Amino acid sequence: MLAISPETVCYLIVKAREFDAKVAPAEPDPGSNPADDRDVGILEDHADDPTFQELTSALESLNSDQLLDLVVLTWIGRGTYAKDQWDEARDQAGEIPTEDAPRYLLGTPQLGDYLEEGLAELGYSCQDYEIGRL
């Protein structure tokens, strides 16, 4: 069913979580002006970050079917679709141009969590792979 190996998804989960940890907003300063705490474009701000570059490179190296599967896994993981709606979700994901899919995924907060949950819904676990190899 998957065009992408679960091991590759697990690698992306690790990298996405590393990136999320770097971009997670700090607790706002209670004495600060809320206008100063606005989002200023997370992806652009981290373009020179090695973790971001590694994750981007990994996503851009995937073919269109693999990227579609990642989008669908993300949607299943966040509850937008159920696993039995795979074909419907894949049709919907196909509307995202292949060249835009990596940016779409990179812009998804909690990407690693959603991918892991999506894999779990399909009966896969990253525990099946040696973490040291990821």
**pTM (2 decimals)?**
0.79
DSSP type of residue 28: P
Encode pLDDT of 6-46 as tens digits: 999 999 999 999 988 876 544 444 444 444 443 334 444 56
Report which residue type is found at 23: V
Whether 131 is covered by a domain: the verdict is no
Report which residue type is found at 35: A
Encode pLDDT of 55-67 as tens digits: 999 999 999 999 9
Phi-psi region of 129 (alpha: psi -120 to 50; beta: other; left: phi over 0): beta
Number of domains in the chain: 1
Whether 1 is covered by a domain: the verdict is no
Encode pLDDT of 76-122 as tens digits: 999 999 999 999 999 999 999 999 999 999 999 999 999 999 999 99
Whether 59 is covered by a domain: the verdict is yes
Domain residues for 80? 6-23+45-126
- Both tokens assigned to 39: 């989002």
- pLDDT computed for residue 47 by the predictor: 64
